């Protein structure tokens, strides 16, 4: 039997993770679209008064870029349902 305090510790650790929500863009305009998408991600967070750790974009190559926002796991559902990211991952 696991003591209750250990169970609570595990729950708090899992809920305190950072989640990176990612949007993928492909094609010759991918970089410009990703940069512009970051502006909208920040605007949404500020308008809804939601906390976020970071927004940014990565250029993987000339034809593939991604925009992302890193949020608290507890806020992830709100962001996910409103903004519909292409994918997500646990952030480092």
Q: Which of 3-12, 41-50, 78-87 has the lowest mean pLDDT?
A: 3-12
Q: How confident is the model at residue 72 (pLDDT cuts 50, 70, 90)?
A: very high
Query: Euclidean distance between the first and final Cα of the chain, in Å?
Result: 31
Q: Give the Cα separation of 57 and 84 in Å (integer).
A: 17
Q: Tell me if 62 is assigned to some domain.
A: yes
Report the domain count for the chain.
Answer: 1
Query: Residue 68 maps to which CATH number?
Result: 3.30.70
Q: Give the domain range for residue 34.
A: 18-90
Give the Cα separation of 34 and 31 in Å (integer).
Answer: 5
Report the predicted TM-score, pTM, of the whole model to 2 decimal places. 0.82
What pLDDT shows up at residue 3?
65
């Amino acid at each position: 039997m696991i003591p209750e305090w250990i169970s609570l510790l595990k729950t708090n650790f899992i809920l305190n993770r950072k989640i990176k929500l990612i949007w993928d863009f492909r094609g010759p305009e991918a970089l410009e679209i990703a940069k512009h998408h970051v502006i909208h991600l920040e605007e949404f967070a500020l308008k809804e008064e939601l906390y976020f750790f970071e927004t940014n974009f990565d250029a993987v190559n000339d034809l593939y870029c991604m925009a992302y926002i890193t949020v608290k796991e507890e806020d992830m559902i709100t962001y996910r349902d409103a903004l519909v990211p292409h994918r997500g991952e646990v952030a480092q």
